[in-house]
Amino acid sequence: MTGNHIGRRLAKDALFKGVVCLLAFLSLLPLFLILYYITMKGISVINWDFLFSLPRPIGESGGGVVNAIVGTLMLIVLSSVISVPCGIAAGIYLSENKAGKLSNTIRLCVIVLQGTPSIVIGIIAYLWIVAPLRTFSALSGGVALSIMMLPVIIKTTEETLKLIPYHLKEASLALGVPYYRTILKVILPSGISGILTGILLSVARITGETAPLLFTAFGNQFMNVNIFKPIDSLPYRIFYYAMSPYPEWHSFAWGASFILVVLALALNLIARGISVKWKIQF
Amino acid sequence: MEDTVLKVEKFSAFFGDNKVLKDVDLTVRRNVVAALMGPSGCGKTTLIRCVNRMHELIPGATVTGKMTLIDEDIYAMQPIVLRRKVGMVFQKPNPFPTMSIYENVIAGYKLNGIRMAKSELDTVVERSLKRSALWDEVKDTLHRKGTFLSGGQQQRLCIARALAMNPEILLLDEPTSALDPKSTSQIEELFVELKRNVTMLLVTHNIAQAARVSDVTAFIYLGELVEFGPTEKMFTVPKDKRTEEYLTGKFG
Amino acid sequence: MDTGKQRASSSTDDSEKRFNVILAGSGLLIVLLLLAIFATLLVTALPAIRQFGVFFFIGRVWDATTETFGALPFLAGTLLTSFLALLISIPFSIAISIFLGEYFRTGAVSTFLRSAVEVLAGIPSVIYGLWGLFFLMPAVRFIEMKLGVAPHGVGILTSSLILAIMIIPFSASIGREVITLVPGDLKEAAYSLGATRFEVIRNIVIPYARSGIIAGILLALGRAIGETMAVTMLIGNSNFLPTSIFSPANTMASVIANEFAEATGVTAASLIYVALVLFLVTMVVNVIGTYVIQRISIEASREAS
């Protein structure tokens, strides 16, 4: 009588667990396939030439992606220079002013900014910088990417600083240290690991972004270090090569993808390492 | 040398409209340990936080009345100038976690951007740590982080940090309530030594501690200064009935 | 002597005031940035808004030569791909949420899956697109040939598939968090009544975490709507209204990616009109999703204390 009933329930229980586990691991399948493809097709392309020479024009074989690598690094530096000071300052403001209309408005804007599609930000950077200057430029790409970095930096700065105990600020103020020095010399250093992690994670995020660069940095066959001219980047080169009809370029796309993934992974690992090793105990 | 270090006259403190200190009158002489005791929430912590103007950091906090440090009106001074003349030790030891022991002691100078020669700084560090009875325990590890010390040692480090600024008066807000009994008695012994050079205003909820270490005691109840006088006298022959009830444990 | 009530502002000096102004200014900058973005989109899209009005979104024809622009094909493309991707991804992300939130909260397996999901979330869109071109496209082409449909290989289905893979990590991690927030004593009460694990999950955990799971799905939807590169590479770039899931098409994001660089005049304004709508839609979806999740976290921490 109840024997069967219980049996059925237990069977359902086991079946459910099985299905959950199966689906969970199935969703990892694409990950492994992607990593497999990148490694297999990408590694074979990587050699000294690939890393250090410029792309060859259509029809000629060989060449490399050095301009894309340099371009990506330049864009990272540009966008960090713009977004890090502003983002940290705004994050400090939010952690010091937990309530209030301005604080809540800023937080809302951060949420909206974070969810804005990257292509829309690309259009904005185009309208603000490319159109007036009448040229595609690394600067416009940097501006677009910095807008994308801001929300992450602001949020992690705010979260990190909120965790710092109040009595630390008190101790500094009681020594007669002015408020701004207390923040800059006591509070910020105590939160440095969290803030750095936030910066690295946001850099990792924008390293792979292509959409905002389509009409800002634009891409460049040649090496360029002038921020007022178009500049190449790894994601853009991958896109350009992937959509082309040439098999050699397709394998270059895999090679560039390999470099990009290694770069993004390295940034993530460094961020993780910092948050563990540099963590301040209170 | 002025004999009176701190003078409090008809002093009241508010949180918004809530009056938490009512017309307090108090005088603290030099080289004395003055204890402030009373039940929780009576206003004793608020009172010392008004001396170094930390009270006003809370939004909506205001004061009326006068407080004088030596011969200067506390509320007419620049707060950061005032706070360099008044030292504070908190309930929970709070050495700066990013700094070494050495750097913690001279934090008051470093953070204020006051430049001093290394030899001068070394002297300040040694003197302050000796005065807080911590020198022998840390003199070989001055460049380790302060957070590795035990609770009692951390608190003595905080005392050294406050002393390094040569304050006119040292405010202590229940400095031993977070420590174990051994560290507590170490620090109480320290007070007896310290008062030869420093004037101290000590908030404590521990009646026995007040009896052990202080020269004069103020009993505060519901924001009012009920009684203030030499400790021995107050504890044996309290003048006010409320004081007597508190001392005999009728209310906590 | 009564010196009058003194407020906290007397506690600050000039350098502090300047510092506070800089901090507040940086915060204000963010607000101004957002307003500027909205204003820019609105103003530059104005020629198109004036010319086409709201009928922009019912118009089926997008033709640069005759300068008639109707965005229905792209609206359809976005809605079809996003919802299809959502449908495909939901079973997987809920499975991951339950796996990590109930069965394997800690331990090596948990860390492994969590890290793997994080890596999935971190792979750049363009690499997903690249992989899609070489793996999904032949696969879909194969299916299309078997079904007797035109073997484009690219189109709504292919891009929905890649989108699904890309948004799984988002709804999965949010789902996992809300599932771990379910109070232990509720579950214990159910167990003590003799329920199986499955029954507890189905009758207690999921209903309790329901709004959080939905919020996570909403945020994943917001991500899918705005996703550009992988979709652009796999959708076939056709400005005609899609007729089946095998049709090549364009989404609002992909048409911008494909056409904006060379667009001028009304064409550009129309594309910006599309971008404006994209901006507003993702804003609404994200704000609602985030708001729900914040409410849940606040309630959870209140119950825990």
3-state secondary structure of C247: coil
Per the prediction, chain A carries an average pLDDT of 90
pLDDT score of C305: 60
DSSP assigned state of A58: T
Of all residues in chain B, what percent are helix, strand and coil, respectively (each to 5)? Answer: 40, 30, 35
Please determine, for residue A4, whether its predicted confidence score (pLDDT) is greater than 70: no
**Measured between CB atoms, does A31 come within 8 Å of chain B?**
no
Decide if C5 and B59 are in contact by the 8 Å CB cutoff.
no
ipTM, interface predicted TM-score of the complex: 0.90
Residue A204: name the closest of C171, C163, C124 by CA.
C124
Q: Where are the beta strands (DSSP E) in C93-228?
A: none
Q: Which amino acid is at C6?
A: Q
Position B252 scores a pLDDT of 57
Question: What pLDDT shows up at residue C288?
Answer: 92
**Which pLDDT value is given to residue A204?**
92
Q: Residue C7: pLDDT above 50? A: no
The confidence score (pLDDT) of residue C64 equals 78
B118 burial type by CB count under 10 A (0-12 exposed, 13-18 middle, 19+ buried): exposed
Retrieve residue A170's tokens.
Answer: 């008190």
The dihedral formed by the CA atoms of B69, B74, B76 and B81, expressed in degrees to the nearest 10: 90
**What is the separation, in whole angstroms, between the first and last Cα of chain C?**
46
Reported as a pLDDT band with limits 50, 70 and 90, residue A282 is: low
Q: What share of chain A is helix, strand, coil (3-state, %, to 5)?
A: 75, 0, 25
Q: Chain A within 8 Å of B59 (Cβ-Cβ)?
A: no
pLDDT level of residue C51 (50, 70, 90 thresholds): confident
Q: Is the confidence at residue C41, as pLDDT, over 90?
A: yes
Q: pLDDT per residue over A48-81, tens digit each?
A: 888 888 888 877 777 888 889 999 999 999 999 9
Stretch (H or E) spanning B11: strand B4-15
Q: Please tell me which of the candidates C91, C133, C275 has its beta carbon nearest to residue A120.
A: C275
B41: left (phi over 0), alpha (psi -120 to 50) or beta: left
Question: Is B6 part of the contact surface with chain A (CB cutoff 8 Å)?
Answer: no
Tell me the pLDDT tens digit for each residue of B125-182. Answer: 999 999 999 999 999 999 998 888 999 999 999 999 999 999 999 999 999 998 999 9
Give tens-digit pLDDT for A185-198.
Answer: 999 999 998 999 99
Does position C5 have pLDDT exceeding 70, yes or no? no
Predicted local confidence at residue C190, as pLDDT: 84
Cβ within 8 Å, pair A165-B98: no
- Residues C219/C227, Cβ–Cβ less than 8 Å: no
Which of A210, A213, A276 is the best residue to mutate to test the C interface, defined by the most C CB atoms within 10 Å of its own CB?
A210
pLDDT at position C11 is: 53
**Spans of chain B below 70 pLDDT:** 1-2, 252
How many residue pairs bridge chain B and chain C with CB atoms within 8 Å of each other? 38
Residue B221 CB burial class (10 angstroms; 0-12, 13-18, ≥19): buried
Could you give the CA distance from residue C85 to residue A122 in angstroms, rounded to a whole number? 24
Inter-chain CB proximity C8 and B78 less than 8 Å: no
Contact A176 B92 (CB under 8 A): no
pLDDT at C255 over 70: yes
Q: Could you give the CA distance from residue C132 to residue C232 in angstroms, rounded to a whole number?
A: 11
pLDDT value at residue C2? 38
Interface of B with C (CB under 8 A): 9-10, 14, 53, 56-59, 61-66, 73, 75, 78-80
Q: In whole angstroms, give the CA distance from residue C222 to residue C224.
A: 5
Cα Dmax for chain C: 98
Q: Which residue of A has its CA nearest to B89?
A: A171
Cβ contacts of A178 on chain C, cutoff 8 Å? 13, 15-16
- Whether residue B54 lies within 8 A of chain A, CB to CB, comes out as yes
